[in-house]
């Protein structure tokens, strides 16, 4: 139909918006407001807890750019992606992390679906529940990917149901991840990170002058050694003055969930995911120390990102270390993710696959 319902109550949805030249979809209810950039990777640009006017998503210094009005000055496979990185939440597929070459095709940073426009169809639009399906076909690989975002009236849980299909006639590798970056003012030194346990793997080598973690360390969550030999608790988010820039990976998690709680605000953000698909939780730690291009010390954010594979060195690296996915011809993989806002001043003891949060209060 040409015109959608213009409700001011219950669950509601509209794909009739444009932001900086990009088709934009707004999904909301009494608790959450979700803004999706359909023309830019179906990125979740905003994830707002309406009662407290809190957007959990981090915003890059340049925000959303209209690609029709901006011409990158180089063809670098890293810089082009960063030029348009607005922060928030991207689907990373079929490559996660830095550039590599696969099957004769260049795979840029976090290639390639989050730089492409996606189709969008509204599946359900009632005061009780709304749902939209976003879909895309990759250019340089034979994948068809779709995700359905749903929200019920009064619910603090965004439901995301996804499927990945290899439409090719030969096996094809990929890395698939949820590139989720959280930022201030929600993020701060009053935040604590809860996960159900697992093994921490610090990135295997120093990659930045402001790395503070001991490279290559493996051990139980959450305590890891720093380069100076002292111990550091990864579950406690440091303030901006920590001045660090690090990368860790958590694996062997007994359950697939994490929660980050701002104890001063009494508010938190949690994600639940299937560990048979997402076997690694990447932890990007950009706590004021990201000097040089592109951040120049301007960023304070944390990435807590479920991924199928590691490290962040690209698809070929994941193939070499045996963690990349390999889809056979016409094979389909499905995964359901739930993201939720909750209230707590102490943290979380668990999140069910449906997104129900069990707090420590």
Structure-token pair, residue 201: 């793997």
Residue 29: pLDDT above 90?
yes
Residue 2 lies inside a defined structural domain of this protein: no
Residue 130 lies inside a defined structural domain of this protein: yes
Residue 7 lies inside a defined structural domain of this protein: no
pLDDT, tens only, 157-213: 999 999 999 999 999 999 999 999 999 999 999 999 999 999 999 999 999 999 999
Residue 303 lies inside a defined structural domain of this protein: yes
Residues 87, 241: Cα–Cα separation, whole Å: 21
Residue 347: pLDDT above 70?
yes
Residue 264 lies inside a defined structural domain of this protein: yes
Residue 4 lies inside a defined structural domain of this protein: no
Q: What proportions of the chain, in percent to the nearest 5, are helix, strand and coil?
A: 5, 50, 45
CATH number, residue 226: 2.70.98.10
Q: What is the mean pLDDT of residues 325-348?
A: 98
Structure-token pair, residue 300: 């304070």
pLDDT, tens only, 216-273: 999 999 999 999 999 999 999 999 999 999 999 999 999 999 999 999 999 999 999 9
Nearest to 342 by CA among 149, 152, 155: 155
Q: How many domains does the chain have?
A: 1
Domain, as residue range, for 309: 12-359
Q: Cα-flanking dihedrals φ and ψ of residue 281, to 5°? A: -110, 110
Q: What is the mean pLDDT of residues 65-90?
A: 91
Residue 3 lies inside a defined structural domain of this protein: no
């Amino acid at each position: 139909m040409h015109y959608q319902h213009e409700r001011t109550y219950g669950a509601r949805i509209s794909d009739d918006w444009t932001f900086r030249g990009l088709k934009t979809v707004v999904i909301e209810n009494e608790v959450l407001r979700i803004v999706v950039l359909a023309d830019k990777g179906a990125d979740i640009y905003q994830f707002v807890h309406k009662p407290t006017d809190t957007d959990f998503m981090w915003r890059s210094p340049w925000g959303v750019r209209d690609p029709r009005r901006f011409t990158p000055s180089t063809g670098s496979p890293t810089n082009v992606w960063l030029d348009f990185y607005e922060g928030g939440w991207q689907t990373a597929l079929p490559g996660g992390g830095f550039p590599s070459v696969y099957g004769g095709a260049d795979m840029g940073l976090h290639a390639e679906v989050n730089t492409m426009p996606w189709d969008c169809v509204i599946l359900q639009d009632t005061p009780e529940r709304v749902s939209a399906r976003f879909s895309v076909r990759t250019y340089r690989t034979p994948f068809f990917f779709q995700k359905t975002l749903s929200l019920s009236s009064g619910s603090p849980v965004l439901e995301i149901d996804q499927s990945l299909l290899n439409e090719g006639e030969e096996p094809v590798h990929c890395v698939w991840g949820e590139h989720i970056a959280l930022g201030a003012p929600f993020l701060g030194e009053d935040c604590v990170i809860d996960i159900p346990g697992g093994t921490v793997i610090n990135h295997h080598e120093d990659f930045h002058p402001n790395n503070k973690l001991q490279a290559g360390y493996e051990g139980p969550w959450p305590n890891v050694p720093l380069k100076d030999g002292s111990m550091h608790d990864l579950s406690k988010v440091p303030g901006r003055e920590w001045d660090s820039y690090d990368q860790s990976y958590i694996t062997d998690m007994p359950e697939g969930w994490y929660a980050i709680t701002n104890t001063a605000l009494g508010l938190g953000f949690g994600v639940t995911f299937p560990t048979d698909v997402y076997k690694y939780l990447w932890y990007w730690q950009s706590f004021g120390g990201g000097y040089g291009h592109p951040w120049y010390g301007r960023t304070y954010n944390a990435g807590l990102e479920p991924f199928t594979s590691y490290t962040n060195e690209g698809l070929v690296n994941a193939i070499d270390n045996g963690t990349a996915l390999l889809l056979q011809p016409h094979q389909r993989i499905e995964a359901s993710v739930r993201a939720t806002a909750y209230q707590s001043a102490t943290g979380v003891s668990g999140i069910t696959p449906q997104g129900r949060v069990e707090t420590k209060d």
